[in-house]
Chains A and B, each alone.
Chain A
């Protein structure tokens, strides 16, 4: 594993292909996600991450089921989420599900926590979006303890108290899965990630970079404030969104109808405006390399780069071709270029092996997190 991780993240949307009018069934889309994960491993990527959604047109409502299946059909790739809803999932169930997945996948598991911004989803799980931030804070404080303390007594605001509760199975090797906190706008979440010394993933794909420079800058500064290292040592992940063909013009011609009709930003700015303002790159592999390398200039050396490759109705065949190009022509160059000039003190992306090694090295030391968690 190199110092930086590269991978793909999927939203799991079922979207009509605007060029053919064809809509995949849920079954086809779910199977396509598995095919994409396996392809990602085959072409040498490090991470496959799935979203979690509970409303059409999205299919991935049950991420650990999907990832457990993928774990059985892959060997090396890290399985992750983008994002796991820390607000509407019971933290007890997250603790159990991901520890179970960790064992089945032999440690190839981490997760990204997010709040979810769809109001109606909250009541479906007995919650209220107006409590989004407090839910994220309290639920994670509990999750953090469930993975680190064998027996937990706990009382909070949002779920029933726990008395002498042990979450099973215990994390693999006693090492909890690494946690990324995903956010597109909330400084509170950057603060939460910094407090725990966890990773911060800024899903920067839809907005201009200036906003994320402030957010990541805040996270880095607070990471150092809480004594986890220097600002440069904070663990940062970024999104990206690309479509490639050998010739730039071919990429633009082929992708434009998908862009123009895409959920989220379709029927708005032109492809050209959007590529100028956001990480979206539509062009040759070299253009993708050039654009991705600029992320380091904006955000500093970072640990994880995830690309969105399979949305907006792109057919599976095309997505798999894209992954071939990404794995063969783009990522090897990015690994080399990002490694060059990377200061030695900037940590590599965390893995189960690296966390285990660090735990053993620090054995006997008190936990690095300030001991003021909820009691």
Chain B
């Protein structure tokens, strides 16, 4: 059997990047939940490295070779972990642009875990009002737990109303692993272009 492919997309810009760190932790947690029963491959796509390619694809109308490869990796994934920094109350422009250059049917039916980082916990609902609708539009299956990591989450435990970051990472990863493991191998349905025979196209126009 082919190994399951978990792919994390990180739109982090810093080096090191807390967004990338969160992506890695989510990927590792999902991998460990699957590892008992499955062989798992993990890949990370760092959008920072593709920033110019993404802009060029916008201008030229097609992705260059390097970006095509990254898109292929993402669209071939059995489970996707999408992580962005929150800028100005939403996902970063780079993050959105990457998903804008992917065909809007290519992620249909794909299990996706959404996560974000930010300087303040006040932005955490951006996951719910921006990220989740984006992937809903793309007809991906988004796991219930979205993980937000503010600066303080990296150095504190949970409180009365919230699990600590590690707990939320684990819960979200378990949800993703469940979807990925329960997904039939054939679920990676390519949406084939359906050709309407010409007689039918003509007939549809007859007054």
Chain B residues with CB under 8 A of A208: 62
Residues of A within 8 A of B191 (CB): none
Size of B's binding interface in residues, CB under 8 A: 22
User: Complex Cα distance A225/B92, Å?
Assistant: 49
Distance between A18 CB and nearest chain B CB, rounded to angstroms: 16
Chain A residue at minimal CB-CB distance from B58: A268
In the bound complex, how far is the Cα of B205 from the Cα of A192, in angstroms?
14
Question: Measured between C-beta atoms, what is the minimum distance from B102 to chain A in Å?
Answer: 15
| Residues of A close to B56: CB separation below 8 A | 268-269, 273
- State whether B59 touches A141 (Cβ < 8 A): no
List A contacts of B202 (CB < 8 A). Answer: 137, 141, 372-374
B205 and A137 contacting across the interface, CB-CB below 8 Å: yes
Given A157-B207, A370-B199: A269 in contact with B59 (beta carbons within 8 A) = yes
A277-B65 in contact given A188-B196, A265-B60, A268-B55 (Cβ < 8 Å):
yes
The answer to whether B60 touches A274, judged by C-beta atoms less than 8 angstroms apart, is: yes
**Closest residue to B59 on the A side, CB-wise?**
A268
Alpha-carbon gap, A30 to B30, bound state (A) = 64
Tell me, rounded to whole Å, the shortest Cβ–Cβ distance linking A348 to chain B. 26
Tell me whether A273 and B207 are in contact in the complex, defined as CB-CB below 8 angstroms, given that A141-B202, A218-B195, A268-B56 are known contacts.
no
Number of A-B contacts (CB under 8 A): 70
A273 and B195 form a contact (CB under 8 A): no
In the complex, whether A41 has a CB less than 8 A from a CB of chain B is: no
A157 lies within 8 A of B205 (CB): yes
> CB-nearest residue of chain B relative to A218?
B195
- Contacting residues, chain B, for A268 (C-beta < 8 A): 55-56, 58-60
Q: How far is the CB of A282 from chain B (nearest CB, A)?
A: 16
Q: Which residues of A lie under 8 Å from residue B193 when comparing CB positions? A: 187
A66 to B65, CA, bound (A): 41
The verdict on A155 contacting chain B, using a C-beta distance below 8 Å, is yes
Residues of A within 8 A of B201 (CB): 133-134, 137, 188, 191-192
B122 within 8 A of A: no
A27 on the B face (CB < 8 A): no
- Residue of B at shortest CB range from A370? B199
A192 closest partner in B (C-beta): B198
CB neighbors of B among A351-375 (8 A)? 370, 372-375
Q: Assuming A138-B205, A156-B207, A157-B205, is B59 touching A191 (CB within 8 A)?
A: no
User: What would be 13 A-B contacts, judged by CB atoms less than 8 Å apart?
Assistant: A134-B201, A192-B201, A206-B60, A218-B195, A226-B198, A265-B60, A268-B55, A269-B56, A269-B59, A273-B56, A277-B62, A372-B199, A374-B202
